Amino acid sequence: MLPAERREQILRAVRAGTTQVGQLADAFGVSEMTVRRDLGDLEREGKLTRVHGGAVGATAERPFAEIAVERFEQKDVIGAFAAASIAEGQTVLLDVGTTTLQLARHLRGRSLTVITSNLAVYEELLPEESIELVLLGGVVRRNYRSLVGVVAEDALRQLRADVAFLGASGIEDDFSVVDTTMVEVPIKRAMMAAAARSVLLVDSEKFRMRGVVRVCHAQDLDAIVTDTGVAAETRSELERAGVEVLVAGVA
């Protein structure tokens, strides 16, 4: 990775909430001295502010409500498709994210158990008395409406589900599933470990987006649900790698 590219990735990580020098060094496989030098360069450019032991972003993370309206139609069709795959009585894990929120909106009136770290999902399903709703504990990320940290991770180790529906920031060219927020990654991995089946919900734009932390490889998933905007060649490559690709909106 070129130094300029690394600095850009470090900036994204800091804006997403990873602020400690040691964490950044581990994430990017470089020395703490290198991270401090990069942070100094970014501070001189006015992109972040150095603090003791790390840095804070000069630009705040985008609000959940702002992200929720982007590519809304694609997210809604993916959510509806995923909801239709869930059998009555199943136990479902729902990850943070705006596409999993759309899935939750299609679960109204169903008889299910839903376990989630997504506060927007919790609020959506709270009036649904037919749904047994389990909210993970943990530290609240107010801006992105989620619960993270060791309390949430420990809770997931005690739970079992039929299926986990996950979100991600992007899918790399080698089909690595990536996220921009480091504190969310352990929750995603714990959900995968707790579920008999793991399904990634990503609209086609996510195949052109990147992150700073690798969550898993696409082959570690049981299926990916996406929309019709994904290139046929990409779908074929995933299927040759053993990944089931389900295209919402296609009969």
Same structural domain for residues 182 and 76?
A: yes
Angle at 225 between CA 218 and CA 222, to 5 degrees: 45
151 and 233 together in one domain: yes
Domain residues for the domain of 47 are: 3-57
- Looking at per-residue pLDDT, the higher value among 224 and 181 belongs to 224
Pair (133, 115) in one structural domain: yes
String of b and e for 40-58 (b: at least 16 CB within 10 Å)? eebeeeebbeeeeebbebe
pLDDT, one tens digit per residue, over 157-195 is 999 999 999 999 999 999 999 998 888 999 999 999 999
CATH code at position 30: 1.10.10
**Same structural domain for residues 140 and 195?**
yes
Residues 184, 239: one domain?
Answer: yes
Torsion of CA 140, 176, 92, 82, to 10 degrees: 120
Pairing of strands 198-201, 223-226: parallel
Helical H segments across 29-157, by residue range? 32-44, 64-68, 72-84, 98-105, 119-125, 150-157
The Cα 158–Cα 245 span in angstroms is: 30
Same domain for 48 and 86, yes or no, is no
pLDDT at 62 exceeding the cut of 80: no
Regarding whether 46 and 116 lie in a shared domain, the answer is no
Q: State the pLDDT confidence band at 213, using cuts at 50, 70 and 90.
A: confident
In this structure, the answer to whether residues 27 and 103 fall within a common structural domain is no
Q: At 161, which CATH number?
A: 3.40.50.1360
Residues 211 and 186 in one domain: yes
Instruction: Choose among 13, 102, 2: nearest CA to 57.
Output: 13
Q: Own/partner pairs for 120-124, CB < 8 Å, 24+ apart?
A: 120/64, 120/68, 120/145, 121/94
Residue 61 is predicted with a pLDDT of 61
Average pLDDT of the residues in 57-81: 81
Q: How many domains does the chain have?
A: 2
Both structure tokens of 208: 């052109």
Residue-level pLDDT at 251: 54
125 and 222 share a domain?
yes
User: Is the pLDDT reported for residue 59 higher than 60?
Assistant: no
pLDDT of residue 11: 85
φ and ψ at 88, to 5 degrees?
Answer: -60, 140
